[in-house]
Structures are given as structure tokens and as C-alpha cells.
Structure 1
Amino acid sequence: MSDSLKLLKERIYDEGTIGQLLEELGCLDIKIKSGRSGDDLVTARLPGSKNPRGAQIYLNETLHTELVGEGISGDIYALVGFVLYECKNFDEVRSKLYQIKTYICNSLGYEHTETNFPNEKPKTDWNWWLRDIQKQRPKIYEVTSNPVLDDRVLNEFILDGWYDWIGEGIDVHTQREFGIGYHLPTNRVSIPIHNSMGKLIGVKGRYVGQDKELLAHKKYSYIYPCSKAIELFNLHRSRAHIQDKKKVYIVEGAKTAMTLWGWGIKNSVSIEGDRLSPVQVKLLKDLGIDIDLVFLWDKGKDEEFVLNQLRQIKGRRVYYVYDNKDIFADKMSPVDKGKEQFNTFLDDCICTFSK
């Protein structure tokens, strides 16, 4: 696959525009679910189909796609090729790549830079007359909620915090507020996960044993799984503080949010990863038009990656704090050098996001 095709898929993934593309194609019943592989899954009804899950796109950089009932397995180009040109296999998709890419770029407003394509002219954009109507149409995607767990599952854990995290800046009182515990069967520190209404939906575990393979590749895993892409960790606790401060700090990890909470900075949430999902964008925007959104990624993301994530957000005041002064080492979070350094980082490195 050419670099341009790979980069286009990565941009669709980074900017969360898969739902917009599906809508442009005429797909219905667009939903986000938890996928079997651990990646979140977008499902949709193909035009003219009765199957509400006929299209299944895994939310990762490859945008792997399955067209159920059609016997087609590929990526987003296979989906567009099937809907527009009835392409059934790789060779048929390859013969239409120029048109497929042109259609995607036109639909999403991306600049079309072609490389390594057949010398063909793109077809006329036959949907030009719909553009104004489509721009006015509200984009509302149904989101599958995480199932609520019975609080009694927490009886499986020793709920008294984790000593090592005290040395990392999360005091005992804060750990107890967040319900931190220990799960003996898996040798993991447990972190209860709640939805925006405060209902228990999952339990995340941090492995603290001696198995080098687990430490290297499965340090964090879910003891009780949930879809992290449709939640904001700590939102149910921090909502009142966000409204009071008119500001929310958005960080990558739960530990960062807990550390800030222990410092008295209680208006933060975690996206539980480094990529902002469309549902998380909606949750942030639902906080209100008067709330400043301040993003703090861990060290190691280049600025273009950060800007790509922020381009998903329209109609809000958005800021990001970027370490262009090399205050932190690679992979360090913004709280890893203590409260004083965190405040200096905020003061010296905050940037306004310009759309």
C-alpha cells in the first residue's frame, strides 16, 4: 500500500471522521461498540441492507473492515469500493483506488494528494448538490453504553490502596476515594471505572508481579472489561469542580488524574489512552460552551499528532500544554516531577489551539 493511502487511513482514525464518511456513503444505524479484539468497533447498516451490523470497522490505524454477508474482508477502501463500485475483491478495489481516494477526500474535506495511482481522472462528485443539506444536518451517532456492574463485584478486591503509588505521588486518602485495591488472582492493583453517572462499569488492573512478559506487554488490562472510548475517567467526580472552575484538564491516564486530585486539582478527566474518540469529544462538549478544554499529553507525542486530535473539536475554547522546553523525559506524564513543576509547565508551555 502506498504511503498516501496509509496516511489517509491514519488521519481518518486520528481525527475520528469515520462516522462522517459512513454517513456520506448513505450508511445508517452508525454505532460504536466494544470489539472482540479489544479495539472499539464502529458498526453500520450498508445502503439497501437489512443488517444493522453489515459494516464493521475496527478503530485502529489500519481501519480493518468486515462486510458481513458479503464475504469481504479488507479496510475502509474495500468498504467505499463496494458501496460505490460494487468491488468484491482486492483487484477490483485496486483498479478504482484513485476514485475511492478522491471520494473520501471530497467527503471529508481533505486535500487530495495522489501518488502511485493509475493515470485515471476522478469521476465527477455526483453528490455536489447535497453538500449544503448535509452540512446543515445534525450528526448524531447512537452510542452503545457500557453495561453497569453490580457494586458487589468490588468485594473480590482488597480495597485499601497500593503502597508503591504513595511514593509516586498518590496519597492513601486519594486512593481510597478512587476505590483503589488489589486483586489477588491476577496480581494486579485494581482501578474501578465508572461512567459519567457514577455507575460502576469496569475494573482496570495494573500488574505488579514479576512476570517480565506481562510487565512488558500487558502491564495494564481489564479485570472487568469495558469500552474506554465511550467514557471519560473521573468525569462523575470532577463534573462539579469543572463547572466551578470553568475549566477541565484532559490527561492520558487514570494515575495522572488521581495525582492531580490529591493535589487539590479536581477538575480533570482521563481519556485512558493517547487518542481522543468522537464520543469523548461529545462528552467534553456537553460540559458546556463556557468550559475551557485544556489538554495535557504525556511526553513523546509530536505536535502534529496533538493538533490532529484537537481538530475534532468545534465551537469550544481549546488549549494544549506542549513540552517544547524539554522539561520532561520521554513517556513521562505532566505530574511526574511534582506539583511545582506541573504548575510551571502550565504557565510556560500552554498554547491556544487555532482551528
Structure 2
Amino acid sequence: MKYYLKTYLKLYREIYYTGWINEGISIEAMKKFNIGLHITTERITIPYFDINGYLIGVRGRTLREIDIKNKIKYMPMKHCGEYLTFPMHSSMYGIFQNQFTIRKLKKAVIFEAEKSVLQLESFYPNNNIGLALGGSNLFDAHVQLLLDLGVEDVYLALDKEYNKYEDNKYLSEYSLKIKQMKDKLINYFNVYIIEDRSGLLEYKDSPTDKGEYIFSKLVKESIKRKE
């Protein structure tokens, strides 16, 4: 594993994207997680740390519509000709900041995007059990990290990839993704699936995107998978 100097983070301005604030992410949460802005590339900077607090990489989330259209919404930041990249299986976003609450409660909520962890921090400051994959893949190394934290209950909170729960085409793809993750977890943890059966979320929403009330409702309605 390669580590980077935390002084690299000083290259990014402490400017907080209004769009994220409007989506329920507090400035305090962004400060806690060292969110910044790279002016030249117009990217929100998202540092990743390992469980011991070492900087292992920095992802950049573009604010340019052209980049989003070209499907380069996320990419590693670059410093002195070197990309600050890391293997996505090597850590989970939020594991350093949230490890003590996760250990205490023996629970973790697994999201796809880092933004969801920041929203959860904004809902429950310093009582956050959220972790993000930075994508759609749950690796065996992630399972081991959860075991090392003493987790007993895992809540899968993936983005909504169907318009209606009865939409078989998209629901089947979503269900396959859930099944693949659940199969990796079920022998070690109590696994709960957070999904929207009542139309509370919009297409592509994370379970946190509609605020704390809707998120807590979805958690209460989550379904425990036994197999």
C-alpha cells in the first residue's frame, strides 16, 4: 500500500460546493472529512484514509457538465505528475473517521457514494456508522475490514436503480447487485437491505438523498436477509 503526505491536502481550497450543501451535507461534515476544491480542474476533492488515518489517495468529483457527459465524473487527483490513486478494495470511505462509532454500535451502513457518508454525518454528527465503496463493488477485503471492526449488523444502502419497485427490468439488475453483495456478507453478519418499496426516493437516489426522516423510515422498513 502506498501512502501520501497529508500536506498534499493543503493544495485544495477550503471551499464547499453549494450544491452539496443544498443536498443536505453540512460544512462541518465536509471539514471533518477534509473535503476541498481544486480550482483548476473544478473538482471536489475527496481524500481516502486507511483505518489508521494514513492518506492513501484522493478522488476528484467533477463540477463540469462536459466531464459528466464524457463519463469521467470521478477520477484520481494528480500531484506533480502522479495520480493519487489506490486499489478500491484496500479501504472503505469513512472507515478512519467512523471506526469508533462502528465498533461501539457493532453496526455499519454500506453506501455506494462518498456523498452518502457525508449526508449521514450531517444527520448524526459524530455518531456516523456509514461507509462507502466508491462504486458498486464489495470486495473480500471489505468484508475483512468489517470483521476487524467487530460489526454484527450490516445494512446495504445502495442507490435506487429502478423507477418503480414493480419495474422488473431494472429491479432484476438491482437485485443481482444486492445478491452478489449479500452472498459475501451473509455467513458473517446479520444483513439488512435498505430499499424503497413506497416511492419515497427518485431514480438514482441514495437512501440519504431525501433527508434524515426518509432515511430513518427506510432503515426501519429494511428487510433482514436470512439466505
Q: Does the TM-score normalized on the shorter chain lie above 0.5?
A: yes
> Partner residue of 2:113?
253
Question: May I ask how many residue pairs the two structures share in their alignment?
Answer: 206
The residue identity in structure 2 corresponding to 1:162 is: Y
Flag the structure with more relative contact order, 1 or 2, with Cα contacts below 8 A and sequence separation at least 6: 2
**1:43-79, CA deviations, whole angstroms, 9 ceiling, x for partnerless residues?**
xxxxxxxxxxxxxxxxxxxxxxxxxxxxxxxxxxxxx
Residue deviations 1:329-349, cap 9 Å, x none? 22111011111111111112x
Note the 1:82-97 alignment, pairs <5 A. Answer: none
CA offsets 1:215-264 (integer angstroms, 9 cap, x no match): 22111111021112221110111111012222111111110001101111
Alignment partner, residue 215 of structure 1: 68
Quick one: distance in 1 between partners of 2:180 and 2:19?
35
Tell me if 1:226 matches 2:79.
no
Residue 302 of structure 1: CA displacement?
Answer: 2.3
Q: CA RMSD in A?
A: 1.5
Aligned with residue 197 of structure 1, among 39, 52, 77: 52
The answer as to whether partners of 2:196 and 2:218 remain within 8 angstroms in 1 is: yes
| 1:316 alignment partner in structure 2 | 189
Contact 1:249 1:267 in 2 (8 A): yes
Residue 286 (structure 1) aligned to one of 144, 148, 156: 148
What stretches of structure 2 of length at least 5 have no aligned partner? Answer: 78-83, 162-172
**Which residue is equivalent to 2:168?**
none
CA shift, 1:322, in A, is: 2.1
Aligned residue for 2:98, secondary structure, equals: helix
How do 1:1-355 residues align onto structure 2 when only pairs under 5 Å count?
A: 145=1, 147-210=2-65, 212=66, 214-216=67-69, 217-223=71-77, 224-264=84-124, 265-288=127-150, 291-300=152-161, 302-313=174-185, 314-348=187-221, 350-355=222-227
Identity of aligned residues (%): 25
Give TM-score scaled by structure 2 length: 0.85
Alignment check: 8 A CA contact 1:297 1:333 kept: yes
Q: TM-score scaled to structure 1, two decimals?
A: 0.56
Letter in 2 for 1:292: D
Are 1:174 and 1:262, in contact at CA under 8 Å, matched by a contact in 2?
Answer: yes
Could you say which structure has the larger radius of gyration? 1
Answer yes or no: is the 8 Å Cα contact 1:243–1:291 preserved in 2.
Answer: no
Provide the C-alpha distance between the structure 2 equivalents of 1:315 and 1:201, rounded to a whole number of angstroms.
27
The 1:315–1:173 alpha-carbon spacing in structure 2 relative to 1, beyond 3 Å, is closer
What is the distance in 2 between the residues matched to 1:322 and 1:209? Answer: 30
Contact 1:238 1:268 in 2 (8 A): yes
